[in-house]
Chain A
Protein backbone atom coordinates (compact mmCIF):
# COMPACT_ATOMS: atom_id res chain seq x y z
CA UNK A 1 0.00 0.00 0.00
CA UNK A 2 1.28 3.45 -0.85
CA UNK A 3 1.80 5.76 2.08
CA UNK A 4 1.22 9.49 2.09
CA UNK A 5 2.95 10.96 -0.93
CA UNK A 6 4.05 14.57 -1.24
CA UNK A 7 5.42 16.51 -4.17
CA UNK A 8 7.74 18.09 -4.88
CA UNK A 9 10.29 16.79 -2.40
CA UNK A 10 12.55 19.83 -2.70
CA UNK A 11 12.08 23.23 -4.24
CA UNK A 12 13.76 26.60 -4.27
CA UNK A 13 11.83 29.83 -4.74
CA UNK A 14 12.61 33.51 -4.47
CA UNK A 15 10.87 36.06 -2.30
CA UNK A 16 7.51 37.18 -3.64
CA UNK A 17 6.87 34.03 -5.65
CA UNK A 18 4.13 31.54 -4.90
CA UNK A 19 4.31 27.82 -4.36
CA UNK A 20 1.90 24.89 -4.57
CA UNK A 21 2.58 21.74 -2.61
CA UNK A 22 0.64 18.55 -3.22
CA UNK A 23 -0.33 15.63 -1.05
CA UNK A 24 -2.00 12.29 -1.69
CA UNK A 25 -3.34 10.60 1.43
CA UNK A 26 -3.41 6.91 2.19
CA UNK A 27 -6.24 5.22 0.34
CA UNK A 28 -9.38 5.41 2.46
CA UNK A 29 -8.19 8.30 4.59
CA UNK A 30 -10.54 11.25 4.40
CA UNK A 31 -8.64 13.75 6.53
CA UNK A 32 -5.55 15.67 5.51
CA UNK A 33 -3.55 17.98 7.75
CA UNK A 34 -0.71 20.31 6.84
CA UNK A 35 2.15 21.24 9.14
CA UNK A 36 5.13 23.57 8.82
CA UNK A 37 8.37 22.53 10.49
CA UNK A 38 11.15 25.05 10.77
CA UNK A 39 14.61 23.64 11.43
CA UNK A 40 15.03 22.64 15.06
CA UNK A 41 11.36 23.11 15.95
CA UNK A 42 8.32 20.90 16.20
CA UNK A 43 5.66 20.82 13.47
CA UNK A 44 3.26 23.76 13.53
CA UNK A 45 -0.34 23.15 12.48
CA UNK A 46 -1.47 25.02 9.35
CA UNK A 47 -4.70 23.43 8.10
CA UNK A 48 -6.90 20.39 8.44
CA UNK A 49 -9.44 19.20 5.89
CA UNK A 50 -11.98 16.46 6.36
CA UNK A 51 -14.37 15.38 3.64
CA UNK A 52 -13.26 18.38 1.55
CA UNK A 53 -14.20 20.90 4.22
CA UNK A 54 -11.78 22.98 6.24
CA UNK A 55 -12.02 21.81 9.83
CA UNK A 56 -9.10 23.64 11.35
CA UNK A 57 -6.77 26.53 10.68
CA UNK A 58 -3.60 27.40 12.54
CA UNK A 59 -2.10 30.80 13.25
CA UNK A 60 -0.79 31.50 9.74
CA UNK A 61 -1.35 34.54 7.54
CA UNK A 62 -3.86 34.60 4.68
CA UNK A 63 -0.97 34.03 2.27
CA UNK A 64 -1.42 30.38 3.19
CA UNK A 65 -4.39 28.56 1.70
CA UNK A 66 -5.32 24.98 1.01
CA UNK A 67 -8.01 22.83 -0.46
CA UNK A 68 -9.01 19.19 -0.64
CA UNK A 69 -10.22 17.54 -3.80
CA UNK A 70 -13.00 14.93 -4.30
CA UNK A 71 -10.35 12.17 -4.31
CA UNK A 72 -9.17 13.50 -0.90
CA UNK A 73 -5.82 14.70 -2.21
CA UNK A 74 -4.85 18.17 -1.11
CA UNK A 75 -2.90 21.25 -2.13
CA UNK A 76 -1.21 23.84 0.05
CA UNK A 77 -0.62 27.20 -1.57
CA UNK A 78 1.62 29.93 -0.25
CA UNK A 79 1.65 33.34 -1.91
CA UNK A 80 4.12 36.22 -1.68
CA UNK A 81 6.83 34.01 -0.23
CA UNK A 82 9.01 35.36 2.55
CA UNK A 83 12.42 34.13 3.69
CA UNK A 84 10.75 32.90 6.88
CA UNK A 85 8.59 30.50 4.88
CA UNK A 86 11.63 28.30 4.35
CA UNK A 87 10.74 25.06 6.08
CA UNK A 88 9.76 21.44 5.73
CA UNK A 89 6.07 21.21 4.89
CA UNK A 90 4.50 18.03 6.11
CA UNK A 91 1.23 16.50 5.05
CA UNK A 92 -0.48 13.89 7.19
CA UNK A 93 -3.59 11.83 6.63
CA UNK A 94 -5.92 10.02 9.00
CA UNK A 95 -9.06 7.98 8.78
CA UNK A 96 -11.22 10.47 10.56
CA UNK A 97 -10.38 13.80 12.12
CA UNK A 98 -7.00 15.27 12.88
CA UNK A 99 -7.04 14.11 16.49
CA UNK A 100 -6.50 10.52 15.47
CA UNK A 101 -3.23 8.83 14.63
CA UNK A 102 -1.57 10.71 11.79
CA UNK A 103 0.42 9.12 8.98
CA UNK A 104 2.92 11.59 7.63
CA UNK A 105 4.46 11.98 4.23
CA UNK A 106 8.19 12.60 3.83
CA UNK A 107 7.61 16.31 3.39
CA UNK A 108 8.39 19.05 0.88
CA UNK A 109 11.52 21.02 1.68
CA UNK A 110 10.99 24.66 0.62
CA UNK A 111 13.88 27.09 0.46
CA UNK A 112 13.10 30.75 -0.15
CA UNK A 113 16.01 32.90 -1.31
Chain B
Protein backbone atom coordinates (compact mmCIF):
# COMPACT_ATOMS: atom_id res chain seq x y z
CA UNK B 1 0.00 0.00 0.00
CA UNK B 2 1.16 3.55 -0.67
CA UNK B 3 1.14 5.87 2.31
CA UNK B 4 2.04 8.98 0.35
CA UNK B 5 0.41 10.21 -2.80
CA UNK B 6 2.07 12.85 -4.93
CA UNK B 7 0.24 15.43 -6.94
CA UNK B 8 0.38 16.15 -9.82
CA UNK B 9 1.36 12.87 -11.45
CA UNK B 10 3.18 14.77 -14.19
CA UNK B 11 4.40 18.34 -14.51
CA UNK B 12 5.97 20.07 -17.49
CA UNK B 13 7.57 23.52 -17.15
CA UNK B 14 10.09 25.77 -18.85
CA UNK B 15 13.62 26.23 -17.62
CA UNK B 16 13.79 29.00 -15.05
CA UNK B 17 10.26 28.45 -13.75
CA UNK B 18 9.47 27.07 -10.31
CA UNK B 19 8.09 23.57 -9.84
CA UNK B 20 5.82 22.60 -6.96
CA UNK B 21 4.94 19.03 -6.09
CA UNK B 22 2.62 17.96 -3.30
CA UNK B 23 2.44 14.86 -1.15
CA UNK B 24 -0.42 13.70 1.04
CA UNK B 25 -0.20 10.87 3.53
CA UNK B 26 -2.61 9.00 5.74
CA UNK B 27 -1.15 8.20 9.15
CA UNK B 28 0.98 10.12 11.65
CA UNK B 29 4.67 10.29 10.87
CA UNK B 30 8.00 11.01 12.54
CA UNK B 31 9.57 12.39 9.42
CA UNK B 32 8.99 12.76 5.69
CA UNK B 33 11.63 12.49 3.01
CA UNK B 34 11.82 13.46 -0.64
CA UNK B 35 13.77 11.46 -3.20
CA UNK B 36 14.59 11.99 -6.84
CA UNK B 37 14.93 9.31 -9.53
CA UNK B 38 16.39 9.79 -12.96
CA UNK B 39 14.86 7.52 -15.56
CA UNK B 40 15.17 3.88 -14.51
CA UNK B 41 17.94 4.52 -12.00
CA UNK B 42 18.25 4.39 -8.23
CA UNK B 43 16.67 6.99 -6.01
CA UNK B 44 18.68 9.85 -4.54
CA UNK B 45 17.80 11.40 -1.20
CA UNK B 46 17.03 15.11 -1.39
CA UNK B 47 15.80 16.27 1.98
CA UNK B 48 14.30 15.03 5.26
CA UNK B 49 11.87 17.06 7.34
CA UNK B 50 10.88 16.04 10.84
CA UNK B 51 7.32 16.13 12.12
CA UNK B 52 8.12 19.08 14.42
CA UNK B 53 9.50 21.16 11.52
CA UNK B 54 7.35 23.26 9.23
CA UNK B 55 9.83 24.26 6.56
CA UNK B 56 13.28 23.29 5.41
CA UNK B 57 15.61 24.57 2.70
CA UNK B 58 18.44 22.97 0.78
CA UNK B 59 19.89 24.96 -2.10
CA UNK B 60 17.08 25.48 -4.62
CA UNK B 61 14.79 23.11 -2.73
CA UNK B 62 12.18 24.17 -0.22
CA UNK B 63 10.07 21.63 1.62
CA UNK B 64 7.07 22.38 3.81
CA UNK B 65 5.20 20.06 6.11
CA UNK B 66 1.70 20.50 7.49
CA UNK B 67 1.01 17.66 9.90
CA UNK B 68 -2.55 18.88 10.58
CA UNK B 69 -3.37 18.39 6.90
CA UNK B 70 -1.02 15.43 6.52
CA UNK B 71 0.62 17.03 3.54
CA UNK B 72 3.99 18.22 2.30
CA UNK B 73 5.18 20.19 -0.67
CA UNK B 74 8.47 20.30 -2.53
CA UNK B 75 9.36 23.50 -4.36
CA UNK B 76 12.22 23.61 -6.84
CA UNK B 77 13.12 27.18 -7.72
CA UNK B 78 14.71 28.36 -10.96
CA UNK B 79 14.41 24.91 -12.50
CA UNK B 80 16.99 23.54 -14.92
CA UNK B 81 16.75 20.88 -17.62
CA UNK B 82 18.87 18.67 -15.34
CA UNK B 83 16.03 18.69 -12.78
CA UNK B 84 14.01 16.49 -15.15
CA UNK B 85 13.27 13.38 -13.09
CA UNK B 86 10.61 11.68 -10.99
CA UNK B 87 10.20 12.91 -7.43
CA UNK B 88 8.88 10.75 -4.60
CA UNK B 89 7.87 11.48 -1.05
CA UNK B 90 8.48 8.78 1.55
CA UNK B 91 7.02 8.47 5.02
CA UNK B 92 7.96 6.23 7.89
CA UNK B 93 5.47 3.53 8.76
CA UNK B 94 5.36 1.13 11.65
CA UNK B 95 3.16 -1.93 11.41
CA UNK B 96 3.22 -4.96 13.67
CA UNK B 97 6.78 -4.38 14.81
CA UNK B 98 7.94 -3.77 11.27
CA UNK B 99 9.44 -0.46 10.21
CA UNK B 100 9.64 0.74 6.64
CA UNK B 101 9.75 3.77 4.41
CA UNK B 102 6.66 3.93 2.24
CA UNK B 103 6.93 5.73 -1.09
CA UNK B 104 4.24 7.44 -3.12
CA UNK B 105 3.71 6.97 -6.85
CA UNK B 106 5.78 10.02 -7.69
CA UNK B 107 5.57 13.17 -9.77
CA UNK B 108 7.27 13.09 -13.14
CA UNK B 109 8.83 16.50 -13.76
CA UNK B 110 9.93 17.59 -17.21
CA UNK B 111 11.89 20.83 -17.51
CA UNK B 112 12.04 22.05 -21.09
CA UNK B 113 15.12 24.03 -22.16
Chain A positions within 8 Å of B, measured between CB atoms, are 4, 33, 35, 40-45, 48, 55-59, 88, 90, 92, 97-99, 101-107, 109
Number of A-B contacts (CB under 8 A): 65
B52: interface (CB < 8 Å): no
For the complex, give the distance between the alpha carbons of A35 and B35 in Å. 14
Enumerate chain B interface residues (CB-CB to A < 8 A): 1-2, 30-31, 33, 35, 40-45, 48, 88, 92, 98-106
How far in angstroms is the closest Cβ of chain A from B66? 21
- By a CB distance below 8 angstroms, the chain B residues around A97 are 99
Question: 10 A-B Cβ contacts within 8 A?
Answer: A41-B106, A45-B100, A56-B99, A58-B100, A99-B30, A99-B99, A101-B48, A106-B41, A107-B40, A107-B42
The 7 closest A-B pairs by CB, nearest first: A104-B42, A56-B98, A42-B103, A99-B92, A45-B100, A104-B43, A106-B42
Docked pose: A4 CA to B44 CA in angstroms: 12
Return the chain B residue nearest A94 by Cβ: B101
Most buried by B among A42, A56, A107: A42
Whether B42 lies near A99 (C-beta < 8 A) is no
Complex: A5 Cα to B55 Cα, angstroms: 33
Q: Are A98 and B99 in contact (CB under 8 A)?
A: yes
B42 x A105 contact (CB < 8 A) = yes
Nearest Cβ in chain A — how far from B88, in angstroms?
A: 5
